[in-house]
Structure 1
Amino acid sequence: MFNPTYNVLLIDDDLDILESYQDLLQQEGYQVMTCADPMDIVAQIPQNWIGVILCDVLLPTISGLQLLDQIIQHDAHLPVIMITGHGDVPMAVEAVKKGATNFLEKPIAPENLLQQVAQALEKRTTLMKNRQWQLEKLTESFIGQSEWMMAMRHQLQKLADIDVPLFLWGETGTGRYHSATYLHKLSARQNAPFVYYECLPQTDCNLDRLLEDVQQGTLVVKNIHYLPQTIQQHLANALNIEGCAFRLILLSDSSLLTLIQTQQISSELYYLFLHTQFELLPLKKRPSDILPIFCHYVHKSCARLNKDDVEPNKKLIQYLLTQTWPGNVKELIHVAELYAIGLFAEQHAPMTVPLKTTQIKPLDEQINEYEKQIIEDALIFYQGRINDVATYLNIPRKKLYLRMKKHHIDKKHYKC
């Protein structure tokens, strides 16, 4: 059984060599695990293991190159140092081409072995710290507790470490653009340009200009089906150039299969994205994420507005969970922000007024107070932006200004 507390795994069928290497490494403070029969060892290595593998090229039950293939498939960034005899150097060189960190030729100089192990372990430790940072950022930004969301966060973290082209599709508001931005922010290209381009019907696209602007960065293209086939092929050719200088992410409402069946995407692009296409599920397919997302953005809005946090009551929770959410996460976030400032509850609460035996204010005065509160809440939410407030309240700007003047409301008091 694999012990994850070890940070060096030695694989060799020669027990004397195993013992010799183990003693040397343990004297330097390493925790060493030895393995003479590696047939099932790769499956036991835990994800994100902080360790280094030393593996002999020639093994009796499986070749070192076959084992290397299994390790790379398990974790492409796991450091593997191949050990070879003089006659097996070509095999070791081939292993390095496949993805091994390096190789050591027998007889191994102890100082060389220790140096390579130290360098590989330092690199692996740095990578694991970066992966942890990536997951923390994704957990902060991609809210939810469904199995799909948890898997999606881990998938995005893995994709951030590689440069393969990606096809993200799904309904409006499911987070396609949000996912693309985080894939860029968390990648090694984070300091390079992030270029977003939305294709529109009958609009010319200067692809060469886009490729020039995005050098070493990430190019995100939405609605690729609006681009002529010739331009799509030009884009595919740019990706096929050795040492491609940018990463391409496509966003679409439709699946890749639908686009190829309707001949809206070139075959060259189709095959580039065939194994890296991901659907972002709508909220109706992951209802357990609705309440966590809503509460997160209510809390965030209350903090921004310096207001006490407000918890949804049972009636509102029931309402949230029974909606179809055609606008998905975007729509839910908007509702959460409205609820935080008191507008959403007022829109959906039953309009009943309890009878009182005590003196109440005249109806006109109550209506004026209510109207003033509605305008002030909207101004707070939109930070004094009159055009946004007028649009939200569905009222002409001139009429809104008259109402504000009536209630002695000055927009400058609401600007940040």
Structure 2
Amino acid sequence: MLLTRSRIPDVLLVDDDEDVLDSYCHLLTLSGYQPKATTSPEEGLALLDAHWPGVVISDIYMPAMNGLDLLAELQRIDAEIPVILITGHGDIPLAVKAVKQGAFDFLEKPLNPEALLALLARALEQRRNILSHRSEIQTAVDHQLIGTSPQIVAIRQQLNQLAQTDKDLMLEGEPGCGRHTLATLLHSISDRKEGPLHVHDGATSPELAEIRASLTLCAKGTLVLQAPARLSPESQRWLGSYLLEQERNGSKAQRTIALFDEAPERLVERHLLMPELYYYLSQVRIKLPRLAERSCDIIPLFRTFLRQGCKRIGRPLPQVDRPYLETLKRHQWPGNIRELRNVAELYAVGIIKLAGVERAIPAANAREPLDDLVEEYEKRIIEDTLFLFSGRVAEAANYLGIPRKKLYLRMKKHNLDKELFKPQS
């Protein structure tokens, strides 16, 4: 029978003396806790997993397993489970060693009940905060990384782990596959989220003085390094040494996330990427797949982008025919997720792409004269597109596939002012 939430123990007591366990249980139960006691460390370990919301209190010296051994086994389950060790005077050096290796704290015998309860309260609060933070990370990752493909499941797991570290890394993938989105997400779920997120483009700012300035701008935050191979060789060598020195000193001023749109190894072979920078960044790598390689994610992504587009422009969610969804799945998506988002946002304003030929959703009312219907439909499409792009005429014209001058002329014909479509402050 599964335990209900209220029956899950919040304290695991481990001691080879049953009388001591009875005493601990009595104290903790009277204090409102739900202890679970065992004389067997192995039995206690079998009860726990990485989601357990409690604290372990254990005697440091037991015949079968001492405190250091138990701590090591607990850390294999979850390195952040708080462990409080109870020690006699002769075992204090062992307890101190355990604390250095990750135990929460230790108390000497004979126990002071108030000291134990105070320490336990602090340990439980720490554990609750850790699990709450993990839950927030999981929610953010699931919200941003949509899909069930094996590649996305693996990337979610990597991000969950990286969010709890300060490791620098490289993100690899074709343009449009979500590298910037992933870098922004990783910043937002890291301990540096209150610091600045700064993007440095090696193609437009390759010189050493420029990369130094960017590092100053993102102090205590995250540097997203775009096109690292376009930095000058001097900049790359200096940056590689700078990042390595920070890691060795354990005092990083910022986290660095490098973005690559082709295999870094090829860049090294072509002498575009300096080996010292490559070897440092390649310690942690995430490779983002092309959208066509994760076809089972195409429809969930399309529906998500469609809902977002409709909500943004205040239109009802349109029906999407099954044959059109199959067309989306068969498309090769050379522009990856960015292209799919564009197609979904166009669908939201009534323009259907990838349907053999581009077409528009037919008007519901065809009783008016054809010329009037055409004029009204053209006006509505222009209005929807201007609203979608917040009055930015160049982007609207590009989406509609017409020159900007022609769009201005049609806006004038329909008495449309781009200022009316800009967000109101």
Q: Are the structure 2 counterparts of residues 88 and 258 from structure 1 closer, same or farther at C-alpha, using a change threshold of 3 Å?
A: farther
The CA deviation at 1:199 is 1.5
State how far apart, in whole Å, the 2-side matches of 1:408 and 1:286 are.
45
> CA offset at residue 186 of structure 1?
2.0
Deviation at 1:52, TM superposition (A): 0.6
Q: What is the DSSP-based 3-state SS (H/G/I as helix, E as strand, rest coil) of the residue aligned with 1:326?
A: coil
Task: Tell me if structure 1 keeps the 8 A contact 2:179–2:259.
Answer: yes
Q: Would you say 1:404 and 2:411 are equivalent positions?
A: yes
CA distance in 2, matches of 1:293, 1:14: 58
Does the CA contact (< 8 Å) of 1:295 and 1:311 recur in 2? no
Question: Counterpart of 1:233 in 2: which secondary structure?
Answer: helix
Q: For the residues of structure 2 that align with 1:314 and 1:248, how far apart are their CA atoms?
A: 43
- Residue 217 of structure 1 corresponds to 221
- 1:84 CA displacement: 2.1
Quote how far apart the aligned CAs of 1:41 are. 4.8
The Cα shift of 1:51 comes to: 0.6
Aligned residues: 411
Which is worse superposed, 259-268 or 164-173? 259-268
Which residues of 2 match residues 189-208 of structure 1 at below 5 A? 189-200=192-203, 203-205=206-208, 206-208=210-212
Q: Structure 1 residues 169 and 57 mapped into 2: Cα distance closer, same or farther (>3 Å)?
A: farther
35-44 or 103-112: which moved more? 35-44
Name the CA shift for 1:148/1:28 in 2 (closer, same or farther; >3 Å).
farther
Deviation, structure 1 residue 42: 4.1
- Which 10-residue stretch deviates more, 266-275 or 299-308? 266-275
Native 8 Å contact 2:299 2:328 kept in 1: yes
How far does residue 284 in structure 1 lie from its aligned partner after superposition? Answer: 2.2
Q: Secondary structure of 2:352's match?
A: helix
CA distance in structure 2 between the aligned counterparts of 1:33 and 1:410, rounded to whole angstroms = 71
Deviation at 1:323, TM superposition (A): 1.3
2:340 corresponds to which letter in structure 1? L
Q: Cα distance 1:331–1:350, how it changes in 2: closer, same or farther (>3 A)?
A: closer
Cα–Cα, structure 1 residues 199 and 403, in superposed 2: closer, same or farther, change >3 Å?
same
Structure 2 partner of 1:233: 241
Residue equivalent to 2:343:
335
Q: CA, structure 1 residues 351+317, in 2 after alignment: closer, same or farther (shift >3 Å)?
A: closer
121, 124, 140: which one aligns with 1:121: 124
In structure 2, stretches of 5+ residues that fail to align are none
Retained in 2: the 8 A contact 1:193–1:213?
yes
In structure 2, distance between residues paired with 1:369 and 1:320: 29
Counterpart residue number, 1:29: 32
CA contact under 8 A between 2:13 and 2:37: conserved in structure 1?
A: yes
The range that moved more, 54-63 or 117-126, is: 54-63
Question: What secondary structure sits across from 2:258 in the alignment?
Answer: strand
- Measured in 1, the distance between the counterparts of 2:42 and 2:2 equals 13
SS in 1 for 2:390: coil
Structure 2 counterpart of 1:314: 322
Cα distance in 2 for partners of 1:41, 1:195 equals 47
Q: How far did 1:371 drift?
A: 4.4
Q: Which residue of 2 aligns with 1:8?
A: 11
What SS does structure 2 have at the residue aligned with 1:61? Answer: coil
CA distance in structure 2 between the partners assigned to 1:99 and 1:91 by the alignment: 13
Identity of aligned residues (%): 39
Match of 1:83 among 83, 86, 103: 86
2:311 is matched with which residue?
Answer: 303
